[in-house]
């Protein structure tokens, strides 16, 4: 196979990891909402933790994007 | 016109070329934006803390709000022992926040979208936290790698995993900030390119998407500075309050 084509396919495969980030962010917000509905008075206190979890989950998906960019541009 | 979405991350020299031996230390656009963010922080916080009135002005309110925000963040995550490190974490948070926010201005350069900048910040934090840990606890700091309540058979494996996860802290801390900033700015550029290529007929859809993305990116710029600072607090908490 041509090297250029293999690079493109590899970068595309590496970008699939963003699906995991999507699942993670969905779980975080969904669980926060269900918890907040059960006990609205405690919801405000956990909001920083929600944002922290969101940022951590999003970043994990972006590591995959970095791998894709390394494959495309660094090799 | 820059058609390549990665073109915005190019570092170029401003002014004369300065060489120190074989190392190029010329003034670049990255250094220009670091200087601008530092000056903006200095200006805002000098103005805000110069005249302390009971009825605060807007700048003073901003200064006091950010002070309270960071001090609450530190006391919540790292406890009262982390009070002496307030100045460091505050300036770290403000620097990352201002670099991210200045990057949101069109045609501005985002300093934190380069891995070398975030990696240097993260490795200073890593080395500093490790030194603090060894100074406070001596060799007892190595107990950090031995979690309590683990069966003796599993210990060799757990210790190796803990050491690897400790050593990968600077990498994950720096890559998180860098990847978020770079991915966001690339995405905005790509959608901007769609607006141009679809023209006046179909360009409205990507344009509205672009507006929404800008809002998301401002949120992410704040959030990543917050996460960077709060993870520093968590690492500091590990070093100060060794509870295993």
Nearest by CB to A65, from B179, B220, B227: name it. Answer: B179
- Domain ranges in chain A? 3-74
Model pLDDT, residue B200: 85
Chain A residue with Cα closest to B175? A63
Identify the helix (H) or strand (E) that includes residue B20: strand B19-20
Q: Which of B135-139, B149-153, B228-232 has the lowest mean pLDDT?
A: B149-153
Residue appearing with tokens 């495969």: A13
φ, ψ at B19 (rounded to 5°):
-125, 135
Chain B residues within 8 A of A52 when measuring between CB atoms: 226-227, 230
A56-75 residues touching B, CB cutoff 8 A: 56, 58-59, 62-63, 65-66, 69, 73
Nearest by CB to A66, from B179, B220, B224: name it. Answer: B179
Model pLDDT, residue B3: 65
pTM, to two decimals: 0.86
Nearest by CB to B179, from A54, A59, A73: name it. Answer: A59
Chain A residues within 8 A of B227 when measuring between CB atoms: 51-52, 55-56, 59
Model pLDDT, residue B127: 95
| pLDDT tens per residue, range A2-47 | 888 988 999 999 888 889 999 999 999 999 999 999 999 988 888 8
| Secondary structure of residue B19 in the 3-state scheme | strand
Per CATH, the homologous superfamily of domain A3-74 is F1F0 ATP synthase subunit C (1.20.20.10)
- Beta-carbon contacts of B176 under 8 Å, excluding residues fewer than 6 positions away, are A55, A56, A59, A62, B224, B227, B228
Pairing of strands B23-24, B19-20: antiparallel
Q: Do A66 and B175 touch (CB under 8 A)?
A: yes
């Amino acid at each position: 196979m041509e090297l250029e084509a293999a690079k493109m396919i590899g970068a595309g495969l590496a970008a699939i990891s963003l699906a995991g980030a999507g699942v993670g962010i969905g779980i975080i917000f969904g669980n926060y909402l269900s918890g907040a509905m059960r006990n609205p008075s405690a919801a405000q206190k956990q909001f920083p933790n929600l944002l922290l979890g969101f940022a951590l989950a999003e970043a994990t998906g972006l590591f995959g994007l970095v791998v894709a960019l390394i494959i495309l541009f660094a090799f | 016109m820059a058609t390549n979405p990665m073109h915005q991350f190019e570092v170029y020299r401003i002014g004369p070329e300065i060489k120190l031996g074989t190392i190029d230390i010329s003034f670049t656009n990255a250094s220009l934006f670091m200087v601008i963010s530092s000056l903006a922080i200095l200006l805002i916080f000098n103005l805000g803390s110069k005249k302390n009135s009971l009825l605060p002005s807007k700048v003073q309110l901003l200064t006091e709000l950010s002070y309270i925000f960071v001090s609450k963040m530190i006391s919540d995550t790292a406890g009262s022992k982390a009070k002496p490190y307030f100045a460091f974490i505050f300036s770290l948070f403000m620097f990352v926040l201002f670099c991210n926010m200045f990057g949101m201005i069109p045609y501005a350069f985002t300093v934190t979208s380069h891995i070398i900048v975030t990696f240097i910040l993260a490795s200073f934090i890593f080395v500093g936290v490790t030194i603090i840990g060894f100074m406070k606890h001596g060799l007892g700091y190595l107990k950090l790698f031995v979690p309590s309540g683990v069966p003796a058979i599993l210990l060799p494996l757990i210790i190796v995993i803990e050491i690897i996860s400790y050593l990968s802290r600077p990498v994950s801390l720096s890559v998180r900030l860098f990847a978020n900033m770079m991915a966001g700015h690339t995405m905005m550029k790509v959608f901007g390119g769609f607006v141009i290529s679809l023209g006046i007929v179909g360009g409205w859809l990507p344009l509205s998407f672009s507006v929404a993305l800008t809002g998301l990116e401002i949120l992410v710029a704040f959030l990543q500075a917050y996460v960077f600072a709060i993870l520093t607090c968590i690492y500091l908490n590990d070093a100060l309050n060794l509870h295993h």
